[in-house]
Amino acid sequence: MQQPDSSPSQSRSIPYSPLTPLNTLDIYIPRPQPASSNPKYWVIYIHGGAWRDPLITSTSITPTLTHLFPTTTTSLPPILGVASLNYRLSPYPHHPSHPSSPHDPTRNAKHPAHIEDVLTAIAWLQQRYGFQENYILVGHSCGATLAFQAVSALWNARVEEETGSGEVALPVAVMGVEGIYDIRLLRDTHAEILSYQQFVEGAFGMEEEGWRKASPTEVKYGEVWKGKLAIIAHSKEDELVDWVQVDAMKGALEKSRTPERKDMILELKGKHHEIWEDGLEMARAINVALETLQDSRPRA
């Protein structure tokens, strides 16, 4: 007997803001919906690409979905929906195949435009689907920077004022994958490679104090976020973002630990882009987050 199609239904390039053509997101709804009485969550994914790469987009979640929702199983994870976000990019005038134009509003963004777009997208999703804090915010590379910036709450008031969206409910869990957490440290670690200086300046400007203030390592998370789980997922095979970023973010979380929040370091396997290009390790990390949230539930 042929199994019914269990792949998620897809809606792509949905505008969450009229600001630019790049302010869109993709939505994937599992079918059938998970039937368990256990809590279920949305997963919101923020792609990487050094804040500027036009070829890494919201569709980069696709390989991960094939592992999260394999067609050969009837056991579905406790996921109500997956949203993958696009956001305005910073300039990349020397991209080998898709150089940016100074007249393109989608590719001349500077901080905090990227995080404002992310929060606007989350507010749009919460208004439409009503999941409030019941979501896991996942970001790869600079998407991990954006994920932890989002829970810092520093830019929420501005987004609420400009969009009329009301309060953005922060996630129950946040996970950075191959993430950048100390921006100046990233540049210093790769001081001999000019492109690191270039993409950081393109996203944050030339003032290094601004880099420090924008870095997730500067946030006192215990004072601004009441989430239950923070995961730093990283591979020691990553050739672009070193493990020193993990150590820096681990230190920042330890300084602001709360009894309600569990902090985890999860070691992955693979190079920087392989994590999302193959999707197996990204899916494993998301499943670890889901399982940890389930295990942390109060027992009757």
Number of helical H runs and strand E runs in the chain: 11, 8
63 contact partners, CB below 8 Å, separation of at least 6 = 276, 277, 278, 279, 280, 282
Q: Which two tokens stand for residue 41?
A: 């969550």
Residues contacting residue 181 through CB under 8 Å, at least 6 positions apart = 144, 145, 148, 215, 216, 217, 232, 245, 248, 249, 252
Q: What distances in angstroms separate CA 278 from CA 49, 129, 267, one per listed residue?
A: 16, 29, 16
Q: What's the rounded Cα separation, in Å, for the pair 246 and 266?
A: 10
**Alpha helices, H only, the chain:** 62-68, 113-129, 142-151, 156-163, 183-189, 194-204, 208-214, 221-224, 244-255, 274-278, 280-295
Among the listed residues 17, 84, 141, 235, the single catalytic one is 141
Annotated catalytic residue 235: no
Q: Active-site residue numbers?
A: 141
